């Protein structure tokens, strides 16, 4: 739910629509209190974030931490730019996994009474791995291939280096930005497709998708509310996908091509909304380029 940002300070918490929400950049977002700032809680968060990061990025880069040296050698020796980018992404994956492996070992030692200070060599090595993975993150693409997704890629390092409360604040800001992308896309899609007779009636389906996508983006998978939100989101995706434009009886080849092109654009927009809801970070390049395609389509033969 959005509200003019200038009226309410970021971080304001209140009940909105029967749920506890926090306000960031014009949006009321479902609120979750940050966990205790302990190594054990950081371990859970980093493992979860690392798993989620690999889920939303291109395939083949989840390199085991024990393969770090091989991945680095392959990256350094590669000269072809396209292959070097992929090898850099694989190296970033190995660095993430190595950093997570080290942090897990530190937490396990702590559970046995062996306390590791922040100045310990293992702790420094963990930070260095996650930092280097973050720097290589610009080489990593979203699984759609649309664009880099380094804002998502940087989250495990932020979780390692920031207090829990500060990290949660950064997440709410990214979710608000993703929600703004979703609204921007949905408003353009609804306006342009509703303006063309073959697509009359798809606008409400698009806006329902946007509403459910924003709820999906703000809700943790461990929240029992997901059992209501996820089915509504999937149903909204399927409703847009099932929409069939109406072809005029006397449509010519050019008109048919135009309508078919619109159908493909509609499905592409549906996919991008789903990407944003899943990644929970903005995708500015993908959003901008899609809106440009929509505007170009609107200016063509109706």
**pLDDT tens digits, one per residue of 94-153:** 999 999 999 888 888 877 787 777 778 888 998 899 899 988 988 988 888 777 777 777
Distance (Å, whole) CA 32 – CA 168: 9
Contact 280, 170 (CB under 8 A): no
CA 184, CA 118: separation in Å to the nearest integer? Answer: 43
**How confident is the model at residue 134, as a pLDDT?**
87
What tens digit of pLDDT does each residue of 237-274 get? Answer: 999 999 999 998 888 888 899 999 999 999 999 999 99
Residue 23 is predicted with a pLDDT of 96
- Global pTM reads 0.85
How confident is the model over 44-96, as pLDDT tens digits? Answer: 888 888 888 888 889 999 999 999 999 999 999 999 999 999 999 999 999 99
Write down the pLDDT at residue 5.
43
CA–CA separation, 214 vs 227, rounded Å? 15
CA 214-55-178 angle, to 5 degrees, is 25
- E-strand spans in 6-111? 13-16, 19-24, 27-30
| 176-197 confidence digits (pLDDT tens) | 999 999 999 999 999 999 988 9
């Amino acid at each position: 739910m959005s509200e003019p940002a200038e009226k309410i300070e970021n971080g304001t918490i209140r009940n909105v629509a029967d749920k506890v929400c926090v306000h960031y950049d014009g949006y009321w977002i479902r609120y979750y209190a940050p966990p205790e700032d302990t190594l054990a809680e950081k371990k859970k968060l980093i493992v979860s974030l690392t798993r989620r990061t690999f889920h939303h990025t291109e395939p083949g880069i989840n390199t085991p931490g024990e393969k770090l040296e091989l991945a680095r050698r392959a990256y350094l020796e590669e000269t072809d730019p396209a292959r070097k980018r992929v090898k850099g992404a694989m190296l970033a994956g190995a660095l993430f996994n190595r950093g997570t492996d080290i942090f897990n070992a530190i937490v396990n030692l702590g559970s046995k009474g062996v306390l590791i200070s922040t100045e310990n060599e293992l702790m420094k090595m963990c930070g260095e791995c996650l930092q280097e993975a973050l720097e290589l993150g610009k080489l990593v693409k979203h699984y759609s291939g649309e664009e880099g997704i380094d804002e998502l890629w940087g989250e495990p390092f932020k979780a390692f280096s920031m207090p829990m409360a500060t990290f949660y604040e950064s997440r709410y800001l990214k979710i608000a930005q993703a929600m703004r992308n979703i609204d921007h896309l949905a408003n353009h899609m609804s306006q342009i497709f509703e303006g063309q007779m073959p697509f009359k009636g798809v606008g409400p389906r698009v806006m329902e998708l946007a509403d459910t996508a924003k709820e999906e983006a703000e809700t943790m998978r461990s929240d029992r509310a997901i059992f209501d939100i996820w089915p509504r989101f999937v149903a909204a995706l399927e409703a847009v996908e099932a929409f069939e434009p109406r072809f005029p009886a006397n449509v010519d080849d050019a008109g048919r091509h135009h309508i078919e092109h619109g159908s493909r654009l509609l499905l592409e927009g549906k996919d991008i909304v789903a990407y944003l809801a899943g990644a929970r970070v903005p995708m500015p390049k993908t959003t901008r380029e899609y809106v440009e395609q929509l505007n170009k389509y609107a200016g063509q033969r109706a």
